[in-house]
Amino acid sequence: MKIAILGAGVSGLSLARMLCAGGLALADLTLFEAAAVPGGLCRSKTVDGFTYDVSGGHILFSKDRAVMQWMKDQAGGDAAFVQRERHTKIRFGNRFVHYPFENGLGDLPELAKFECLKGYVEAWHARDKHGTQAPGDFKSWIRWRFGEGIARHFMDPYNEKIWKRPLQELSSSWVAGRVPDAPIDDVLKAAIGVRTEGYLHQASFFYPRRGGFQAITDGMAASLSARIRLSTPVQDLVRAQDGGWRVNGEPFDVLVSTLPLNELPDLIPAMPAGVAAAMRGLAYNSIVTLLVALDRPAHPDLSWIYLPHHEQGPVNRVTYMSNYSPELAPAGKTSFLLEVTFPGGAPVPGAELEREALAGVEGAALLRKEEILFVDRSVCTYAYIVYDHELFARRSAALEWCAANQIQALGRFGHYDYFNSDQCVIAARTLAGTLLERARSG
């Protein structure tokens, strides 16, 4: 059974590793990868001794302990990782507010604290006593869940920055399990100054000691390298008479695609127009990341900081990259990673972005210009899935067509799920089980 895996990101690589571990011959697998190195969104880059994750700071954590261990084992096991406590803050004027925001109300100026608390209690009362249902659009959902004060002081501006569109155009469906949901007692305690944590899910995380997050996908790729065709973009996919697929003219029995669904119509000319339109219409955001190398020996033990407010510039998150592992910066230096999103399909922001980003971060008193050694920039086209109101219908049309035509759709943009890398591995594990069963039954 000849299997083509399109894309050598964490999804394609982990699928290949699991198929081999399950007994499939390596020679039966071919991975097609457009980039010169494997890893996809998990890639990292090193410049003058500073290493950063090109699509935004990545951390390793998972509710599935077996998967997390498997991922660590790919890159050398426990000893190859450092464990860190998550210290995350929100920059609010000249203050640091505990994250999640509703567990940090006590850190706010008095009036903002009052407005947020009042709104939170009103929203809780409406839900708890009157049983109001979660609204379908994200802007209304924020008010339903957090109230007017938190909406205005944090949720609205932060989400407008990251999603780059009016929040009523977004569905509230993606927030389940993603936006922290604190008990009211914790919020009240936090507001009067009793520390409550909230959101313990990623309270501690792992990160590769060396090489950035890419060390994980490098580890996966090592034993597969003979079968990964780098710098080999898939340009042409044609359904074969026998039910298989031809990839760039080469026949395969099974086709697994981790490529963004948005790209498939250009590769499959025979795709029906309605399906092609659905795939092309799937919304996404892109990201620019800026590594800021700093001539500064030490800085607070922070993991990352959210910059929610427009006056803080275009950056939505500053990752304290060199705090993830001491190996990510030369001795005595530190690094920040700034993230700025832009709408998928829009022109890539020019040089003015760097000026605005640095001015915003300096204005928030997180760095001083004199400390900057250099800035390195990366752009990642497919970064965030945008849950607009059309997403579910479009994705269903896309995936139903893939299933009917024997394309195994896998991965964050391959299946259009808001997946972290561990969830990609979990999905790959399920698909590997199915394919191995099929191989066994002949």
Ligand X SMILES: Cc1cc2nc3c(=O)[nH]c(=O)nc-3n(C[C@H](O)[C@H](O)[C@H](O)COP(=O)(O)OP(=O)(O)OC[C@H]3O[C@@H](n4cnc5c(N)ncnc54)[C@H](O)[C@@H]3O)c2cc1C
Q: Would you tell me which residues interact with ligand X (CB under 6 A)?
A: 6-12, 32-35, 40-42, 55-56, 58-59, 233-234, 258-259, 263, 287, 382-384, 411-414, 419-422, 424
Spell out a b/e string for 267-290, using b for 16 or more CB atoms within 10 Å of the CB, else e. Answer: bbeebeeebbebbbebbbbbbbbb
* Shortest distance, position 226 Cβ to ligand X, whole Å: 18
Is 151 or 407 the residue whose CB approaches ligand X more closely? 407
Is 263 or 354 the residue whose CB approaches ligand X more closely? 263
For residue 103, what are the contacts with CB-CB under 8 A and spacing of at least 6? Answer: 180, 182, 186, 187, 190, 196, 197, 198, 199
* Shortest distance, position 247 Cβ to ligand X, whole Å: 9
Is 88 or 103 the residue whose CB approaches ligand X more closely? 88
Is 234 or 353 the residue whose CB approaches ligand X more closely? 234
Which residue, among 342, 353, 343, 347, has the nearest Cα to 377 in the 3D structure? 353
**Which residue type does 41 have?**
L
Which residue, among 439, 4, 75, has the nearest Cα to 222 in the 3D structure? 75
* Shortest distance, position 72 Cβ to ligand X, whole Å: 12
Is 150 or 385 the residue whose CB approaches ligand X more closely? 385
Query: Exposed/middle/buried for 326, CB within 10 Å: 0-12, 13-18, 19+?
Result: exposed
Is 292 or 424 the residue whose CB approaches ligand X more closely? 424
Is 12 or 219 the residue whose CB approaches ligand X more closely? 12
Q: How far apart are CA 271 and CA 261, in angstroms?
A: 12
Using an 8 Å Cβ cutoff, are 432 and 18 in contact?
Answer: yes
Is 358 or 380 the residue whose CB approaches ligand X more closely? 380
Using an 8 Å Cβ cutoff, are 425 and 60 in contact?
Answer: no
Query: Exposed/middle/buried for 186, CB within 10 Å: 0-12, 13-18, 19+?
Result: middle
284's tokens: 């996404």
* Shortest distance, position 440 Cβ to ligand X, whole Å: 26
Which residue, among 348, 297, 339, 336, has the nearest Cα to 317 in the 3D structure? 339
Query: Exposed/middle/buried for 369, CB within 10 Å: 0-12, 13-18, 19+?
Result: exposed
**Residue number closest to ligand X, CB atom:** 40
* Shortest distance, position 84 Cβ to ligand X, whole Å: 12
The CA distances from residue 252 to 3, 241, 243, 398, in Å, are 6, 11, 9, 21
Using an 8 Å Cβ cutoff, are 15 and 410 in contact?
Answer: yes
* Shortest distance, position 272 Cβ to ligand X, whole Å: 21
Is 41 or 397 the residue whose CB approaches ligand X more closely? 41
* Shortest distance, position 423 Cβ to ligand X, whole Å: 7
* Shortest distance, position 239 Cβ to ligand X, whole Å: 17
* Shortest distance, position 92 Cβ to ligand X, whole Å: 22
